[in-house]
Structure 1
Amino acid sequence: MSNAFSIVCKATQLILLSIKKLQESKPHESKEKAMEAEGRFYGHGNTFQSVEYCNRKGRQEQKVVSDLDGTLLRSSNAFPYYMLVGFKAFGILRFTLLLLCSPIAWLLYCFVSDSAAIKLLIFVAYAGLKEKEIDSVARAVLPKFNLADIHPHTWRAFSSFKYRCLLTATPRLFVEPFSREYLCAGLVLGTELEFTKSGRATGSVKSPGVLVGTNKDDVLHRQFGGKQPDVGLGDRPSDHPFMQRCKEGYLVRKQSNIIALDQSELPKQIVFHDGRLVRRPTPGWALIILPWLPIGLL
């Protein structure tokens, strides 16, 4: 009995360690954070200023393209939103499966590619869902958590433009309702899910795949043709390709102490949300509450 308990404790410690790493940036990304006192970032031969230096005047007729996680949102970790899909659409079993996949996702993220990790999470979270169900989940749970995580500097720059485009690796069907309704984005470009003839998600993604790195740049080029967007906003080296396509590019600094935007500054506030989820479901939080769920159901 004691041996079994010891094994469980060690397994829990391993999962918690993996979860901590999942929430952090890639090891090699720290080398990309070179920044001078005036707020300039360097990457791939280009210099980008911090988003605080973006001039917001006279932008009413210009176009802005922004990443979502880590840019418009303070958190760069999209994993909690896949947990939301799993819980809302399938209940505790899919929620648990996603939690168990978190160490694998972290390994893929660090040692294979961003795309491989996101593909795993998309498969586990979305496989079997209908398009209407994805839309329903997005409208029910996403606004509450995203509106509490808006990056103030990015929003003030983003909102100064009349034509707003969101460019993200997250599945478009999941982020589009929130982005259009609450961020007033006129165009949302995200990873496209693949569906069966019966209308259920296969868990795979359509070409060109997950929108990271050069895939973002390719999609943006096809959308705008030979025209350059005026401003590109991103937060990591993989955003540099699409930012270079824009006339101006600004990077969002990683600041752990940044305070979220006051929701009164947004064009629309949330009226109702699904009250069953009161906290953003990070892997660590999920691992803590999971053993108590059977007791809560009694």
Structure 2
Amino acid sequence: MVSSMEFLRLANWLMNQVLVKSCYGIARKIKNHGFQWGDLSSKPLQQPSSFPNIIKCDLEDRGSQTLVCDFHKVLLRTHSFFPYFMLVAFEGGSIFRAFLLLCSCPILWILNYEMKLRVMIFISFCGLKVKDMENTSRAVLPKFYLENLNLEAYEVVASVGSRVIFTTMPRVMVEGFLKEYLNADAVIATELHTAGCYFTGLLSKSGLLVKHSALMDYFGDTKPDLGIGNTSLHDQLFISLCKEAYVVMNEGKVIPRNKYPKSLIFHDGRLAFLPTPLATLFMFMWLPIGFVMALYRIFLGVFLCFKFTMALGVWSGINLNFKDNNQQKSKSNEGVLYVCTHRTLLDPIFLSSCLGRPLTAVTYSLSKVAEFIAPIRTIRLTRDRKQDGETMKRLLSEGDLVVFPEGTTCREPYLLRFSSLFAELADEIVPVAMKAQVSMFYGTTASGLKVLDPIYFFMNPRPRYDIEILEKVPKELTCAGGRSSHEVANYIQKQLGYALGFECTNLTRRDKYMMLAGNEGVVQEKKGRIFS
């Protein structure tokens, strides 16, 4: 008779072979060969340009000049508006709005330039709260804009003293990014109609922006010093009104992260990919399978013992890399304090599974559902330093403890400032470097439902976790060795940053939530949103 464990292994093998590997293989082929197909190009007809290529533009001595340019297909490499409207529909609206926008693709392909934009604006914005759009514009869109900036065009824009950006895109989608990241002096864009605190999905009375007319209205008889456009008829007419003009001939190079106009440390939203039409179609095809896969992976962690969880989890498509460099055994009667970088709510669970023994994790705020299904012990802290210190000291006397001094998660390769409280509590401190990678959905959020974080993470076809346990902190570098708690915290932050290749910052949890959610990360249980 087949045992229950053998049945689980057989079911896991079938799940991995039939669903994960086959579907993921198909997805990779689609991405490599067809992600850009049907990109709903919004560029007008092209013609040979009489203006020189932008790579010939001299960047010297332009500090006193004024530049005008378009945003899409000039500053942004992509000429398709669809991915950015999809981000608004999915992140600012709902999954149903995003599905409706995807279903409109066959109609969009046969419409002209102006009607295409009007339809996408209506679907994405009709009934959308102004506040939700502001959050999306501030916390979601900048990441995708930065990843698609044209390096050559950006260098020209950065060389001038004054920048005026024109675009047919709605102002609410681009103004925040252009002013905060590119220091635009003015943004001339399409205006949307609102009714109270909601968008109607309609344009204002002025309609879609006509760039060359808007330029003449803005500058009057004065000609801008420099203009950048693409090879379309409209753009060539637009830049012909400038004293000096250049065109972007192709997509150009992607701007590297180290040349970003402003470091991208915080961003929000669930989508981890640029949602082109085909990429979005694949996402919706994967969702039913991904949801079942997420429930299955959560089941493994909640109901099975450690020795089976890791094996079955890896067989289900989870890519886990674990390295333990700490060879020193604890000489204290108290537990070991594991100090970890914080990537998702699953950090302590993966660490506990890799070590093969139960750990206790302290949290500042956790949804009650996540707390209930957690396979390890979780204890809430109060943010009262004295009380939290006593709680952690008691937990250490009972066994090993996991803490996250950053106080919140960070997606990008940066470490936030470490709280020094943990350094005052133990001499047996072991740093743990953690890195999580996803391809479809982010497993963290600042303004969404925290209870869905584990589900979104496990819905990725092949989520990855890299865990490296560093050597125990020498006693002479702890508080017991005469160091202050701040010195210990800073030392461990630098060690973890070096191990991960991350940059250390002085930013805090409060900074993150002020930027992404417009608050200080206060728990709001009545609204169903738990911030962490």
Whether contact under 8 Å (1:182, 1:269) holds in the other structure is: no
> Which residue in 1 is equivalent to 2:205?
207
Paired with 1:100 and 1:93, the residues of 2 have a C-alpha distance of 10
Paired residue total: 257
| Counterpart secondary structure, 2:103 | helix
Paired with 2:95 and 2:122, the residues of 1 have a C-alpha distance of 17
Asked whether 1:250 is paired with 2:276, we answer no
| Counterpart secondary structure, 2:287 | helix
Amino acid of the structure 1 residue aligned with 2:281: L
**Matching residue within 68, 77, 87 for 2:80:** 77
Asked whether 1:234 is paired with 2:247, we answer no
Amino acid of the structure 1 residue aligned with 2:218: Q
**Matching residue within 30, 34, 45 for 1:29:** 45
TM-score (norm 1): 0.81
Unaligned stretches of 5+ in structure 2? 1-33, 293-532
Whether contact under 8 Å (2:163, 2:186) holds in the other structure is: yes
Paired with 1:145 and 1:80, the residues of 2 have a C-alpha distance of 9
| Counterpart secondary structure, 1:107 | coil
> Which residue in 2 is equivalent to 1:183?
182
> Which residue in 1 is equivalent to 2:100?
97
Deviations 1:189-233 (A, max 9, x none): 11100112x23111111233112xxx1111121211221111111
Alignment of structure 1 residues 129-144 onto 2, 5 Å: 129-144=128-143
Alignment of structure 1 residues 146-225 onto 2, 5 Å: 146-196=145-195, 198-211=196-209, 215-225=210-220
Q: How many angstroms does 1:263 deviate by? A: 2.5
> Which residue in 2 is equivalent to 1:108?
111
Change (3 A) 1:24 1:120: closer
> Which residue in 2 is equivalent to 1:287?
281
Paired with 1:271 and 1:142, the residues of 2 have a C-alpha distance of 13
Asked whether 1:65 is paired with 2:64, we answer no
Amino acid of the structure 2 residue aligned with 1:238: H
TM-score (norm 2): 0.46
Structure whose residues are more often helix by fraction: 1
Asked whether 1:20 is paired with 2:16, we answer no
Change (3 A) 1:205 1:75: same
Q: Which has the higher contact order (CA 8 A, sep 6+)?
A: 1
| Counterpart secondary structure, 1:108 | coil
Q: How many angstroms does 1:275 deviate by? A: 5.3
Amino acid of the structure 2 residue aligned with 1:181: E
Matched-pair identity in %: 36
Paired with 2:155 and 2:262, the residues of 1 have a C-alpha distance of 15
> Which residue in 2 is equivalent to 1:52?
55
Change (3 A) 1:159 1:280: same
Asked whether 1:272 is paired with 2:271, we answer no
Asked whether 1:128 is paired with 2:117, we answer no
> Which residue in 2 is equivalent to 1:259?
253
Paired with 1:120 and 1:23, the residues of 2 have a C-alpha distance of 12
Unaligned stretches of 5+ in structure 1? 1-16, 35-40, 42-46
Larger Rg: 2
Change (3 A) 1:65 1:221: same
Amino acid of the structure 1 residue aligned with 2:223: Q
Whether contact under 8 Å (2:93, 2:132) holds in the other structure is: no
Deviations 1:64-83 (A, max 9, x none): 01111110011111110000
Q: How many angstroms does 1:29 deviate by? A: 3.1
